[in-house]
Amino acid sequence: MKVYKFGGASVKDAHAVRNVVKIIGMVKGEPLVVVVSAMGKTTNLLEKFVGRFVLGGHIAEDIQRLKLYHEEIIRDLFSEPTEVLTKLNDVVDMIKNSLDRNIDYDQLYDQVISQGELLSTLIVSKYTATHFPVRWIDAREYISTNQSFREAKVDWPATRSKIQNLKQKGINCPIITQGFIGRANNGMTTTLGREGSDYSAAIFASCLDAESVTIWKDVPGVMTADPKRLPGATVFPELPYQEAAEMTFYGASVIHPKTIQPLANADIPLYVKNFDDPSLPGTKIHACQLDEIPPLIVFKDNQCLVSCKMPDYSFVSENQLSVIFKTLSDAEVKINVMQNSAISFSFCVDYRENKIQPLIEALSKLFEVYYNTNLTLVTIKNYTPELCDEYRAKPGILLEQLSRSTVQWLFRSASGS
Ligand code: ASP
Ligand code: MG
């Protein structure tokens, strides 16, 4: 049993969908579960218009854009598109009907956003069925979660038993299902956090005891840096689980951060491969020990550095630190780097205005708070002295943090790359 995951870019148009079917077709005869994300930038579009709707804005144009985008793909793929177009209309009606300003925003978000995955898997499975038999399943019937909308936590025992049941009944043709979505015990749809389809693939793989997971991407594998930023970046042929997990922690967006843990626990290898050229070896993430791992450079933009200073020039005590951490934890804000000095404590976080401004307000009641936005966090794992020198020579460094394996700098944006 294998699990494949195709992200938005791999199903962004009709040509891409045809390619997906070709790749699925290569594993004929073996049981396969295929997890698919929403097409192209659909999730961003849905996210934008839910936000606008809640603020009382007009969304008719956005809904039309969503419909036309999918309609164009359907018309290109099917010589007889009527049935699929009817389904598209049904989904669009469902979106319209679920828009209700009286329900909690996060809950509404999940009910609407999830339609992107339902729509894409519907199109991909109907098109695959014109080539060979497939089975579409609703991931919400298998992935059970709590009610933390937008960041739902998986109920592993319930999920495991449902997915194992699926396996016991026999998988005799490829199964196509959605990434990113689940169902809470009150029956509502939930989502697992943006870009969470990789995690869905890992959940299915873990519960199915799969032999491997393959994430199909537009890059040739896990790379030493984002090739759009550093064109000289190369592919890691293999990586230990731990290394890959740490990369995601530092902001490498190639794999969703929650993906590695369930796979490492079950010792299931994860392949990251290129959907344009499946013959390329890609990267294998598994239990291995490597003598030397080349440096990995991760850029994280849109960072904010917050410094809390005691107003009376006294030292920052453990007591005050505990207040700062409690405030961060209550606001569900993750620290990317932190540093303290005698009279101040500084931390760097992703700048999401709606979360960070209230946080700064809360801290300002107790401290003198200073902050800088529009920063870039550069992390180099397994650095070399030469690389350190190169980055240290760049202008605009606000903070440096060095350990034996990792160095991080916070730059004013545009100076770091
Ligand atoms: N479609 C969702 C998103 O863009 C999930 C995913 O792509 O993994 O966040
Ligand atoms: Mg996506």
Measured between its terminal Cα atoms, the distance across the chain in Å is: 42
pLDDT of the residue at 316: 87
Is the pLDDT reported for residue 48 higher than 70?
A: yes
As to burial, measured by CB atoms within 10 angstroms (0-12 exposed, 13-18 middle, 19+ buried), residue 28 is exposed
Report whether residue 257 contacts ligand 1, using a CB cutoff of 6 Å. no
Atom of ligand 1 nearest to the CA of 116: 1
C-beta separation of 362 from 327 below 8 A: yes
H/E segment holding residue 48: helix 42-54
Parallel, antiparallel or unpaired: strands 212-217 and 270-274: parallel
Matching residue, tokens 């509404």 = 108
If one residue of 118, 189, 194, 199 were mutated to test the ligand 1 pocket, choosing by the most ligand atoms within 8 A of its CB, it would be 194
Q: What is the mean pLDDT of residues 131-146?
A: 97
User: What is the whole-number distance in angstroms between the Cα of residue 117 and the centre of ligand 1?
Assistant: 8
User: What is the whole-number distance in angstroms between the Cα of residue 197 and the centre of ligand 2?
Assistant: 8
Parallel, antiparallel or unpaired: strands 238-240 and 212-217: unpaired
Atom of ligand 1 nearest to the CA of 44: 4
Q: What is the mean pLDDT of residues 18-26?
A: 97
Is the pLDDT reported for residue 414 higher than 70?
A: no
pLDDT of the residue at 170: 86
Contacts of 252 (CB under 8 A, 6+ apart): 222, 296, 298
Report whether residue 194 contacts ligand 1, using a CB cutoff of 6 Å. yes
Matching residue, tokens 């026999």 = 170
Written as six digits, the tokens of 169 are 């009944």
Q: If you count DSSP H runs as helices and E runs as strands, how many of each does the chain have, helices first?
A: 13, 17
Q: What is the mean pLDDT of residues 400-417?
A: 86
C-beta separation of 171 from 1 below 8 A: yes
Is the pLDDT reported for residue 387 higher than 60?
A: yes
Percentage of the chain lying above the pLDDT 70 cut: 99
H/E segment holding residue 363: helix 353-364
If one residue of 44, 180, 192, 217 were mutated to test the ligand 1 pocket, choosing by the most ligand atoms within 8 A of its CB, it would be 180
Q: Which of 86, 88, 8, 73 is nearest to 47 (CA)?
A: 8
Written as six digits, the tokens of 170 are 């026999």
Helix axes 14-25, 115-128, angle to 10 degrees: 60
Q: Which residues pair with 371 in a beta bridge?
A: 306
Q: What is the mean pLDDT of residues 164-189?
A: 95
Instruction: List pLDDT tens digits, range 340-374.
Output: 988 899 999 999 888 899 999 999 999 999 999 99
pLDDT of the residue at 19: 98
List the single range of 77-91, 129-143, 402-416 with lowest mean pLDDT.
Answer: 402-416
pLDDT of the residue at 416: 52
Measured CA to CA, the distance from residue 385 to residue 284 in angstroms comes to: 28
Average pLDDT score over the chain: 95
C-beta separation of 99 from 65 below 8 A: no
Instruction: List pLDDT tens digits, range 234-274.
Output: 999 999 999 999 999 998 888 999 999 999 999 999 999 99
Q: Model confidence at 310, in pLDDT bands (50, 70, 90)? A: confident
pLDDT of the residue at 411: 97
Matching residue, tokens 């943006």 = 194
pLDDT of the residue at 101: 86
Is the pLDDT reported for residue 388 higher than 90?
A: yes
C-beta separation of 323 from 367 below 8 A: no
Written as six digits, the tokens of 151 are 């960041």
Measured CA to CA, the distance from residue 10 to residue 364 in angstroms comes to: 45
pLDDT of the residue at 342: 86
Entry field: residues in the chain: 417
Report whether residue 8 contacts ligand 1, using a CB cutoff of 6 Å. yes
Atom of ligand 1 nearest to the CA of 200: 8
User: What is the whole-number distance in angstroms between the Cα of residue 330 and the centre of ligand 2?
Assistant: 28
Q: Model confidence at 62, in pLDDT bands (50, 70, 90)? A: very high
User: What is the whole-number distance in angstroms between the Cα of residue 43 and the centre of ligand 2?
Assistant: 6
Q: Model confidence at 313, in pLDDT bands (50, 70, 90)? A: confident
User: What is the whole-number distance in angstroms between the Cα of residue 42 and the centre of ligand 2?
Assistant: 8
User: What is the whole-number distance in angstroms between the Cα of residue 140 and the centre of ligand 1?
Assistant: 15
Is the pLDDT reported for residue 178 higher than 70?
A: yes
C-beta separation of 362 from 306 below 8 A: no
Q: What is the residue with the minimal CA distance to atom 7 of ligand 1?
A: 195
Instruction: For residue 251, give the amino acid letter.
Output: G
Entry pTM: 0.91
pLDDT of the residue at 11: 98
C-beta separation of 208 from 167 below 8 A: yes
Q: What is the residue with the minimal CA distance to atom 6 of ligand 1?
A: 195
Q: What is the mean pLDDT of residues 146-152?
A: 95
If one residue of 42, 43, 178 were mutated to test the ligand 1 pocket, choosing by the most ligand atoms within 8 A of its CB, it would be 43
C-alpha 416: how far from its chain's center? Answer: 24
pLDDT of the residue at 394: 95
Instruction: List pLDDT tens digits, range 280-291.
Output: 999 999 999 999
